[in-house]
Structure 1
Amino acid sequence: MGGADPVGAALPDALPPDALPSDALPSDALPSDAVATSALARCIAIPAERFAAEYWSARPLLTPAAESGADYSDLLDVAAIDELLSRRGLRTPFLRIAKQGKVIPAREFTRSGGVGAGVTDQVADDKVLGLVADGATLVLQALHRTWPPLVRFGSTLSTELGHPVQINCYLTPPQNQGFAPHYDTHDVFVLQIAGHKRWVVHQPVLTDPLPGQDWEQRRAAVTTRAAEPPLLDLMLQPGDALYLPRGFIHSATAQGETSIHLTVGVHPVTRHSLLKHLLAEAATDPKLRASLPLGGDLAAEARLADQLRETVHAFAAFAEEGRLPQVAGRLADELAGSTRPEPIEPMAQLAALAALTPSASFRLRAGLRARLERRPDAVLVKAIDTSLSLPLSAEAALKLVLSGEPVSAAALPGLDAEAALTLVRTLLTAAILVPERGA
C-alpha cells in the first residue's frame, strides 16, 4: 500500500474535520469497557454493531487518535522492527522492499545465511539499511505469523470478525512512497504507529473485487480515477486508524519523518465463496454431470439458452436438497486453513501431559475452528489438517470441550475416569486442548 507520485507541497500535521466528508467521521461515544478490550475496538471508536451495519464492506471510516485514545506501540515499534530485520533470521517473502511504485528484487537485500544455515535468501540488514537510506519502503509481511503481539492481535481480531486476517508493516522514509495508486481485493485497517502519512482515497472502479480481480487488470481505469478529485485526502498521525473496504483506490506518502503503519488485511468470505463450495458439491449430482447434446454449435446462443436454463434449474434443485452441512464443512476447512489459531507451547503441552490429573483444568485452543462430525460408528473432531476419530461414547464430552468452557477430565460427561483421562491426553497431544492459564 502507498503512493507513487511525489507530493509537491508540504501538508499540515492534520487536516481539519471539515476537510473530510461528514460520513467518514465517527460521531458515537467510545464503546463500553467490555467492547474496548476487543481487538476490533482498537481499530474503531464506534460500537461494533454500527460498524457492521454502516461501514463493513461499504465505505471508509477514519478513527482519529483524539477520539479513540489509541496507541499501537505495544503491537510493534522501531525496536521491534530492528530486531526482526537483524536478529530473527527473516527470509523472503517475509520482507518486501519497494521504491516509487516498483518492487525491488529480493537479491538486492538478501544473501546466504552462512555456515550452518543452508539458505540463500536471508535478509541482509546492511543491504536493508542502504535501501532505506535511499528512500525505499520496507514491507514486513505476515507479522501475524512471526511477531508475538501481532500473532495474538491477529488471532483475536479474526475470531471477532469471523474472517481471516493478515498483518503487514510498512516503513516509509520521509517524503517517499512505496506503491502507486491501487486497490486491494481485501478490506484493510490502517493503524498508524509513528510519523505522519498522507492518504489519498478514491472511489472504486470495481465494487467488491474478488482475489482474481486485482487492480493491475484495470490499471488504466485506476490511473484515470486516481487523477480525479479524491473521496478522502487526509493525514494519519500516531494512533489514528483508517478502515478501507476492498476496491477503494488509495495511495500514501510519508511526510517529514519516517512513517510506520500496520496494514491489517481482512480477507472476507463472500457469496462467491459459498457458490464455489456449492459448485464443488454439485459434482456429486448426475444431472449436473450430464453431457450437452451432440451436434451443432454448442456455443450458439440460441441453442445454449435452453441448456443454460435447464442447468440453472437443476442446480437450484440440487442446492435445496439439504446441502448446508456439506457447504458448511467445506467453508470450515477453508477458514481453518487460512487462519492461525492461538500458538501452542510444545514443551508446556508435554509437561501438562506428564502432570495430568482428573482435576487439572484445560480449555479449547483459541481460534482453532474445531468442529464435530458424527458418523455411524464414531465421532470425528476436525481442526486445520487434523482429524481425530473417537468413540461415540465421547460425543457429549467433546461437545462440552468444543463449547469453549474450561474443562477437566473429572467434569467430562458420559465417560468413566480412565476414559476421560484418555480423551484429555488425546486432545492435548493433538493441540486441541491447552492448559488453562493460572491452573
Structure 2
Amino acid sequence: MTAPASDDGARALGPLVGDLDRFLAEDLGRRPSLHRAAGDVPVPLTLDDVDELLTRRSLRAPAFRLVQDGASLPRSSYTRTGRIGGVTVSDLPDTGRVLELVARGATLVLQGLHRYWPPVTALCRALEDASSHPVQANAYLTPPGNRGLDVHHDTHDVLALQLAGRKHWVVHEPAVVAPLPSQSWSSDRHEPGPLVLDTELTPGDCLYLPRGTPHAAETVDELSLHLTIGIRAVTWFDVLRRAVDRAAEVPAFREALPAGFADDPSALADELAARLADAAAWLGKVDVPALADEVIAGFRSSQLPRLDGQLRRLLSLDAVDDATVVRRRRDVHVRTVSGDDRVELVLADRTVAFPVAVAPELDELLSGRAVRVGGLDRLDAEGRLVLVRRLVREGVLAAEADAARDRDSDGGDRAGA
C-alpha cells in the first residue's frame, strides 16, 4: 500500500532516515532504526534559534515548559504576567528565571514547534505527506549529566534528531506491541524486554523508535539539544471504530438491553452472541469506499492549514486577469467529487461547490500545469475570472510567480549539523 515517496519528501527526509521508500516500507511501525549523519545535514533548530525563541519571541505557555528529575516544574515558577492589547496574561516566559532553572539542571521543552517554527513545520509537512499520519514536534534542551524519564514507551512513533551536543540512548524490545494512546507505559504493569541498542547520538544522527519501544536517554558531559518528531499513527482500530460508529444509524442496535439482563448472565450471553452475529453481518455490508473517504478526510482535517503566502495573494486578487498564468499550489490536497449538477472540491477543512458546467476548466486548473486564464476560452471573460479568482481565494491556485516562490521554498533549513 506504500506509494513511492515524492522527490521533495526524499530530499527533506533523506538526511534523517536514509532511503525514504525503504524507511516507509521496512521500518515505519515495525522496527527501530538508526541513521548516522552523512555530510551536511539540515538543521531545523539551532541553539541560537532556541535563544531567540526564548528571549525575543515572547512564547506563551504551554509552547514551553520546564522539566526536572522526570517531573514538570510548576508553571508559576518560570512564567510572568504581562499585558497584550490591554489584556493581562500570565503565561509569558520569565526569561531570567527560565535560564536560571536550566543552569541548575532543568530541561527546557519547546512544544508544538511544527506550528510556529518554519524549518520544523516544513520537515513535519514532508513526513505527513510521505506517511499519511499526523506529525508533531517538540525540542528538548538538556544540561550536561541529566536524564529525562526512566525507561518507558511512547504511544506514538518517534524520530529523535540530535541537533547539538551528545545524548546516550538505551532501547529495549517492546513490552506492548503497537500500544494505543490509552495503553501508556506503567512501571507497575510493564517490564522492558531485552536491550537491543545502546548508543550515543551526535549532531545529525537520527534514531527512529516505533510506538511501544521502551527507551531512556541522558546527556553525557555536555549540553544536548534534540528534536523529537512524533508520528501519531492512524490505526486499523481507528478505522474499525469509525465503521462501528455507523451502527448508530441502525435502529436494532439502538434498542435497550432486556429488562433484568443483569440478573441472568447466561441469557444475556446468548442474546449477545446473536446480536454480535448480526453486527458482523452488518459490518460486512458497510459502504467501504465511503468509509475510506471518511478516513482520508479525517487525516486531512487534522493537518495544519497550508496557506503560506495567502495574504499577498488575496490582496492582489483584483490583478488576476486574462494574461495571468496560474498553477495549482503543489502543497494543497484537493479531491473532486462529481454529481449530476455540481462538482465539489474537497479540501482539508471545507468543501467548495461549482456548477458541473465548469468541470473541464476545473480539471485543467487542477492538473498542476501552468494555465493562462485567457486560455479558458470556453467560458466568457467574466466567468473564467470568477472561477480562477475563487480558486485563488480558496488557496488552491497561485499566480505563476507565487507558485514558483512556493516551489523554491525549502522551509528555511540550514545546512551543517
Fold-level match, TM-score > 0.5? yes
CA contact (8 A) 1:201 1:249 kept: yes
Shift of the 299–112 alpha-carbon distance from structure 1 to 2, 3 Å rule, reads farther
Give the distance between the partners of 2:274 and 2:374, measured in 1 at CA. Answer: 58
Shift of the 305–43 alpha-carbon distance from structure 1 to 2, 3 Å rule, reads farther
Give the TM-score, by structure 1 length.
0.82
Deviates more, 1:347-356 or 1:34-43: 34-43
Structure 1 partner of 2:409: none
Shift of the 59–85 alpha-carbon distance from structure 1 to 2, 3 Å rule, reads same
Shift of the 378–163 alpha-carbon distance from structure 1 to 2, 3 Å rule, reads same
Q: Tell me the C-alpha RMSD between the 2 structures.
A: 2.8
**2:100 pairs with one of 108, 120, 130:** 130
Deviates more, 1:395-404 or 1:197-206: 395-404
Give the distance between the partners of 2:184 and 2:375, measured in 1 at CA. Answer: 51
Matches within 5 A, 1:11-410: 34=7, 37-45=10-18, 47-65=19-37, 68-73=38-43, 75-114=44-83, 116=85, 118=87, 119-215=89-185, 218-222=186-190, 224-225=191-192, 229-292=194-257, 294-297=258-261, 302-321=266-285, 323-410=287-374
CA contact (8 A) 1:182 1:250 kept: yes
CA contact (8 A) 2:10 2:20 kept: no
Q: Point out 4+ residue stretches in structure 1 off by more than 6 angstroms.
A: none
Give the distance between the partners of 2:273 and 2:68, measured in 1 at CA. Answer: 51
CA contact (8 A) 1:363 1:405 kept: yes
Give the distance between the partners of 2:396 and 2:117, measured in 1 at CA. Answer: 22
Give the distance between the partners of 1:313 and 1:414, measured in 2 at CA. Answer: 56
Shift of the 343–155 alpha-carbon distance from structure 1 to 2, 3 Å rule, reads farther
**Which amino acid in 1 is paired with 2:77?**
E
CA-CA distance at 1:204 after TM superposition: 1.9
CA contact (8 A) 2:136 2:230 kept: yes
CA-CA distance at 1:237 after TM superposition: 0.4
Give the distance between the partners of 1:183 and 1:300, measured in 2 at CA. Answer: 41
CA-CA distance at 1:53 after TM superposition: 3.2
Q: Secondary structure at the match of 1:275?
A: helix
Give the distance between the partners of 1:402 and 1:416, measured in 2 at CA. Answer: 19
Q: Describe the superposition over 1:403-438 as per-residue Cα deviations: whole angstroms up to 9, x where unpaired.
A: 544444345596444322211211221223334433
CA-CA distance at 1:301 after TM superposition: 5.1
The count of residues paired between Structure 1 and Structure 2 equals 399
CA contact (8 A) 1:201 1:231 kept: yes
Give the distance between the partners of 1:36 and 1:403, measured in 2 at CA. Answer: 20
Give the distance between the partners of 2:377 and 2:228, measured in 1 at CA. Answer: 45
Structure 1 partner of 2:410: none
Unaligned ranges ≥5, structure 1: 1-30
CA-CA distance at 1:175 after TM superposition: 0.6
Please identify which structure carries the higher strand content. Answer: 2
Shift of the 300–260 alpha-carbon distance from structure 1 to 2, 3 Å rule, reads farther
Give the distance between the partners of 1:60 and 1:49, measured in 2 at CA. Answer: 16
**Which amino acid in 1 is paired with 2:318?**
A
Shift of the 428–263 alpha-carbon distance from structure 1 to 2, 3 Å rule, reads same
Give the distance between the partners of 2:367 and 2:250, measured in 1 at CA. Answer: 35
CA contact (8 A) 2:6 2:130 kept: no
Structure 2 partner of 1:26: none
**Which amino acid in 1 is paired with 2:54?**
L
Give the distance between the partners of 1:105 and 1:279, measured in 2 at CA. Answer: 41
**Which amino acid in 2 is paired with 1:220?**
D
Give the TM-score, by structure 2 length.
0.86
